[in-house]
Structure 1
Amino acid sequence: ASARQMVKKQAENAGNQGKLVEQANLLHKAGATTEARSTMLWRGALDVLRMPSERISSRWLGAEALMLASAPYQSTKDLTEDLQLAAVKRLLPNVDELPDDEALANAVLDVREVFEDTVYAVAHDVIAILKRYAEVDKAVSGKADLPMLSVLQSIREHIATLVYPGFIGKTPPDALASIERYLHADMLRLGKAKNDKNRDVRWAWEADEAKQLADKAMAKAEREPAGPRHEALMKQAATARWMLEEFYVSLWAQELGTPKPISLQRIKKALS
């Protein structure tokens, strides 16, 4: 334990000197944290780039501000903080591949000029998500006849995994831009289920099989003790989690298309 204490102390010193990459490396090597390196480095980059909440919200037009007010956040300050975190992730998606603190500092310097506009672009994506969410939410919360209940329940449960308090900062950068499409797929599923309930049942069976694969991978990753293997398994599980969303689109809403071909086999392969 004393060796671990020593590493923790070294890591703390590195952090105090603003050497975030060194700090993350030390903590991970010692298995002293289960937090992803990228998460630590994004937070550090945000500390350098952060703008006042008012500066961000003052750019929103009336309709934008109204739409963003429907996001599941306690306050505008919480919302703007998360929008900024998502912007950092969008600008530095592969932050954990940076070799050292100098590389991180340079990367942050490189994006400084476009940071504010990126925050605004993220806000626009979020507005599209919230509009679509409201549409789906309304469609599944009315009265329903018995055969449709399970479909409505399934869609309600699904949209809650996409839009929830803190979703803007927690969703991976490439997935955030796709959430509107994932919600749109739910809307199309609903229309199709009304026309052909049996087909929906068949598709739901396949969807569930894929979901079990992703859930199992996440459970396995969470059981793994802190260290490099934990991080590798968490990455793998996250990949499967978002491949699952694309798989749903391929079932319920083929017409929306997926960026890459997707199938149960491909999810299994990503996890092997």
Structure 2
Amino acid sequence: SAATADLERAGLTDWPEQPVPSEVRVAPGGRPVTVYPALVDEGTSVAIRALRTPVAQRRSTWAATRRLLQLSTPSPLKAVVRQLPARTKLGLQASPAGSVPELLEDCVQAAIDMVLTDGGGPPRDRAGFRALQADARARLVPLTGEMVTLVEPALAAAREVQQLLDAARGLSDDTLADLRGQLQGLVFPGFVSATGRARLPDLPRYLRGMLHRLERIPAAVARDAVAMTRVHAVHDEYRQLAAQLPDDPAVRAIRWLLEELRISLFAQSLGTRGQVSEKRIYRAMDEIAPTG
């Protein structure tokens, strides 16, 4: 709007010279409102735009900082691919997560997110951005290589699950839909950066839990159906919460608790990360649910 025109910029390929204010009061048409200036990723550059909420501001500025780091840091991919064993290169083929170049680019995004996380998030000024750039230049090759190494076992397990699902006979439509939905929620184009370094090591266990469940269903159809109903009840509640609080880190944490709940119900022998139960998940959701 005209009220924020002084603030807004486009075509930036470096951190803005002047610090971006965290909030601005404007009065379009004489009605005062608070807007939240943010950096916005525009692909080959970033812009400054006034957004409506602090949540949108945080999310947008993070993605735009990631883009600026990517634009100003040499791509680590040549060096990473050169170091990959032939077995790993093979393991990246035929992935449910898109083409190999897309998958590798996703690993770079996840590596930049690690640099950002370790640096305390988007900087406040250009000097802070310079420090992030130096860190990215020093660490992107090893960090991207680490992401690829973590992704390989998840892709191998996802392929096994997909093969079993394709060959499955005698499963109810509900069970098949549940398993397919779970697989698509774990491994998809962009899953490496969406999952993040902290949870990537858990993906193979969640996928092995699916294999375990598929092996056991024929001998325990009724028990599986009851467990699935329990998972869906919690999941429905979670979906409502996620719609109310998009991009909330506490909501993301609950999303992983749901995967742990599935392990506890369908593949107990694999063990869970921490204690998990429906009651604990409901309590965690109650603690962060908006009131009123």
Q: Give the TM-score band, short-chain normalised.
A: 0.7 to 0.9
CA contact (8 A) 1:136 1:187 kept: yes
Q: Which has the higher strand share?
A: 2
Partner of residue 228, structure 1: none
Amino acid corresponding to residue 157 of structure 2 in structure 1: R
Contact 1:50–1:84 (Cα < 8 Å) also in 2: no
Equivalent in 199, 202, 224 of residue 175 of structure 1:
199
Match of 2:279 among 245, 265, 268: 265
Larger C-alpha radius of gyration, 1 or 2?
2
Does structure 1 residue 27 correspond to structure 2 residue 37? Answer: yes
Matches of 1:24 and 1:257 in 2, distance apart? 47
Mapping for residues 209-224 of structure 1, pairs under 5 Å: 209-222=233-246
Find the aligned partners of 2:21 and 2:214 in 1 and give their Cα distance: 45
- 1:18 is the counterpart of 2:4: no
Shift of 1:87: 1.5
- Equivalents in 1 of 2:235, 2:17: separation in Å? 35
Rate the CA distance shift 1:115–1:53 in 2: closer, same or farther, 3 A: closer
CA distance in 1, matches of 2:168, 2:17: 53
Where does the alignment leave 5 or more consecutive residues of structure 1 unmatched?
223-230
CA distance in 2 between partners of 1:185 and 1:209 (Å)? 20
Stretches of structure 2 that go unaligned for 5 or more consecutive residues are 23-35, 39-48, 288-292
- Aligned-partner Cα distance in 1 for 2:233–2:18: 39
Alignment RMSD, CA only? 3.0
Distance (whole Å) between structure 2 residues aligned to residue 198 and residue 238 of structure 1:
31
- The alpha-carbon deviation at position 143 of structure 1 amounts to 4.2
- Against the structure 1 CA distance between its residues 54 and 267, is the aligned structure 2 distance closer, same or farther, given a 3 Å change threshold? same
1:41 maps to 2:65? yes
Q: Which is worse superposed, 121-130 or 46-55?
A: 46-55
Q: Structure 1's 24 and 161: CA in aligned 2 closer, same or farther, altered over 3 A?
A: farther
Name the structure, 1 or 2, with higher relative contact order (CA <8 Å, separation 6+). 1
Distance 1:246 1:75, change over 3 A: same
Percent identity between the aligned chains? 22
TM-score between both structures, scaled by the size of structure 2: 0.75
Contact persistence 1:85–1:169 (CA under 8 A): yes
Whether the aligned pair in 2 keeps the contact of 1:83 and 1:122 (CA below 8 Å) is yes
Relative distance call for 1:216 and 1:172 in structure 2 (3 A) is: farther
Figure out how many residues of one structure are paired with residues of the other and give that number.
258
